[in-house]
């Protein structure tokens, strides 16, 4: 089937099998390997991307369902070579160790901050409830999102792919 | 984890989807949010030859309040229901259930029509849908049909829907006066699904007596059910801690409870008693 999916503002037109998962389209056909596959069973959130502004697990969507959809991946966060405040804060607050979960964490946090500009720690934890991290123990991830919320409040900025 | 291959069609209306279901017989399935069906297809527990996507029919996602009812389109996502003011005001137990489903990503994609049609015995909505006396409106080859919630959940993963019928809308009657509702659950830690979930709806009359009590329980039996004995024991009574506790003793009466690695049958039945009491307490508090 012929599909056209915009990823980070750039259209990708391909002929695909309907059973191809969106996550494989992004990684294998568009070559954007920042989106990770952790569990492949809808549990870990590593594959989270934004589809028309909504955080979704790209392993639980067929690419054909994203025909005509605007997708934003971790590669669409930095703009003009400058990291997005969320990326910066994950770095500064040690919100990652191995980094496997980080793209999913950041995409989900990006949606949270779009919906709620000043989340409490409980709200941050709730919003990231579908994203598992085997390294950090979550404390620094929460601190990173809190710090990014503050930065964005002082200086609003949109991601390149938004 | 790659699904069996299939042919994919985007339906532009429910009528078209019904026709396609009829044309392909048992070889086709419809997909809405895909958050029950796609995991099953990846595990090859489901292998439809034709997948009909109703997820792009925009006019099926809405929450309207009219003629004493809240009407919710089948494609309305859990997130929209969780954050709807009309749902929170008119039927809080449904907003509670939506907000407790899975995680944010699941709530962004999953739909109420898909969840009810899938009829997972541990799904959250069915308890609230039963307690709130909802009606499910389905479209089939012979036209539209209204199915009361009490007749909808038939068995594990089985509903009263005919193979070619599609849920179009969920209707919830609004209650007037002093009324409140709530849904609470004990979740299985890894999956988030309900080991037991209980919804309660109450009305309080002028003298502070309970009436039209509705209690729905999910996760405990093969399918969600109403705790009718508990409801009967409460109607006409003034709420008091002892009364609630006693009435909830019969919350799982006559039910053959699920018994698995997550919880024994006895434990589930005990949770049914405890969670129906807590849901009642929360509903009574909201009734004010
Ligand atoms: C990680 C994860 C965690 C979850 N946790 C929970 C939880 O805690 N509680 C909970 O209740 N659920 C949970 N779910 C399930 C989730 O709520 C699903 O969204 C829901 O069960 C199905 O809705 P859907 O729109 O995704 O349906 P789909 O997957 O698209 O469809 C499900 C089934 O219903 C049929 N169908 C879909 N729409 C209709 C319709 N309008 N009329 C007739 N048939 C229809 C399909 O053919 C299919 O057989 C979870 C799912 C995942 C992946
Ligand atoms: S890889 Fe998609 S949720 Fe884990
Ligand atoms: S940093 Fe390693 S999984 Fe989160």
Q: A98-119, pLDDT tens digit by residue?
A: 999 999 999 999 999 999 999 9
> Does the domain spanning B7-53 belong to CATH 3.40.50.300?
no
- The first and second tokens of residue B138, run together, are 């389905």
CB neighbourhood size of B134 (10 A): 27
> Does ligand 1 lie within 6 Å of residue B32's CB atom?
yes
Looking at the predicted structure, is the pLDDT value of residue B260 above 90?
yes
Q: Where on the phi/psi map is residue B186: left (φ > 0), alpha (ψ -120 to 50), or beta?
A: beta
Q: What's the domain count of chain A?
A: 2
Let me know: does A78 contact A84? Beta carbons within 8 Å.
yes
Ligand 3 centroid vs A103 CA: distance in angstroms? 10
User: How far apart are alpha carbons A135 and A90 in whole angstroms?
Assistant: 14
Looking at the predicted structure, is the pLDDT value of residue B163 above 90?
yes
Distances in whole angstroms, Cα of residue B142 to Cα of each of B22, B59, B75, B139: 11, 21, 22, 8
User: How far apart are alpha carbons A82 and B167 in whole angstroms?
Assistant: 48
* Domain B178-287 superfamily per CATH: CO dehydrogenase flavoprotein, C-terminal domain (3.30.390.50)
pLDDT of amino acid A40: 94
User: In chain A, what residues touch B106 (CB-CB under 8 Å)?
Assistant: 42, 57, 130
Residue predicted with more confidence, A131 or B189? A131
pLDDT of amino acid A158: 81
H or E element, residue A86: helix A85-92
Single residue among A11, A42, A75 that ends a domain in this structure: A75
Average pLDDT over residues B178-195: 94
pLDDT of amino acid B103: 96
- Which range is least confidently modeled, B184-193, B199-208, B214-223, B231-240? B184-193
**Radius of gyration (C-alpha) of chain B in whole angstroms:** 19
Q: Say what the ipTM of the complex is.
A: 0.96
Let me know: does A65 contact B53? Beta carbons within 8 Å.
yes
Let me know: does B255 contact B216? Beta carbons within 8 Å.
no
Domain that holds residue A20: 2-75
**Fold type of domain B58-173:** 3.30.465
Query: What is the arrangement of strands in the sheet containing B28-31, beginning at the earlier edge strand?
Result: B7-10, B50-53, B28-31
Under DSSP, the state recorded for B239 is: -
Report CB contact under 8 Å: A108, B104: yes
> Does ligand 1 lie within 6 Å of residue B166's CB atom?
yes
Domain map of chain B by residue range? 7-53, 58-173, 178-287
Ligand 2 centroid vs B78 CA: distance in angstroms? 19
Tens of pLDDT, residue by residue over B67-110, are: 999 999 999 999 999 999 999 999 999 999 999 999 999 999 99
Looking at the predicted structure, is the pLDDT value of residue A35 above 90?
yes
């Amino acid at each position: 089937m012929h599909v056209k999916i915009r990823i980070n503002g750039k259209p990708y037109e391909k002929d695909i099998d309907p059973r191809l998962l969106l996550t494989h389209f992004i990684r294998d056909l568009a070559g954007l390997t920042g989106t990770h596959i952790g569990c492949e069973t809808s549990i870990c959130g590593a594959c989270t991307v934004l589809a028309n502004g909504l955080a979704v697990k790209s392993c639980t969507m067929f690419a054909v369902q994203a025909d005509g959809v605007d997708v934003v991946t971790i590669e669409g966060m930095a703009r003009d070579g400058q990291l997005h405040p969320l990326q910066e804060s994950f770095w500064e607050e040690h919100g990652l160790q191995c980094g496997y979960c980080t793209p999913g964490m950041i995409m989900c946090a990006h949606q949270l901050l779009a919906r709620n500009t000043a989340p409490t720690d409980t709200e941050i934890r709730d919003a990231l409830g579908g994203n598992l991290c085997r390294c950090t123990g979550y404390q620094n991830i929460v601190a990173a999102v809190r710090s990014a919320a503050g930065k964005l409040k002082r200086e609003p900025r949109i991601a390149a792919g938004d | 984890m790659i699904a069996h291959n299939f042919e994919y069609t985007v339906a532009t209306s429910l009528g078209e989807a019904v026709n396609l279901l009829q044309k392909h017989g048992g070889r086709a399935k419809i997909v809405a949010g895909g958050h029950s069906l796609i995991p099953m297809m990846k595990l090859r527990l489901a292998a439809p030859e034709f997948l009909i996507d109703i997820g792009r029919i925009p006019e099926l996602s809405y929450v309207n309040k009219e003629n004493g009812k809240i009407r919710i389109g089948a494609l309305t996502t859990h997130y929209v229901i969780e954050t709807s003011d009309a749902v929170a005001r008119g039927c809080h137990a449904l907003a509670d259930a939506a907000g407790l489903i899975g995680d944010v990503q699941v709530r962004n994609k999953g739909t109420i029509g898909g969840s009810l049609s899938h009829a997972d015995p541990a799904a959250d909505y069915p308890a609230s849908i039963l307690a709130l006396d909802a009606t499910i409106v389905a479209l089939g080859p012979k036209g539209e049909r209204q199915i009361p919630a009490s007749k909808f959940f038939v068995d594990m993963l089985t509903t009263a829907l005919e193979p070619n019928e599609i849920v179009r809308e969920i209707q919830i009657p609004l209650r007037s006066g002093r009324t409140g509702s709530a849904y609470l659950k004990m979740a299985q830690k890894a999956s988030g699904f309900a080991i037991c979930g209980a919804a309660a709806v109450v009305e309080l009359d002028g003298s502070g007596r309970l009436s039209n009590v509705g209690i729905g329980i999910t996760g405990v039996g093969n399918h969600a059910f109403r705790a009718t004995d508990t409801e009967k024991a409460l109607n006409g009574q003034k709420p008091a801690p002892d009364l609630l506790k006693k009435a909830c003793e019969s919350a799982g009466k006559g039910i053959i409870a699920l018994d698995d690695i997550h919880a024994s049958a006895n434990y589930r039945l005990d949770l049914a008693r405890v969670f129906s009491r807590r849901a009642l307490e929360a509903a009574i508090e909201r009734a004010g």
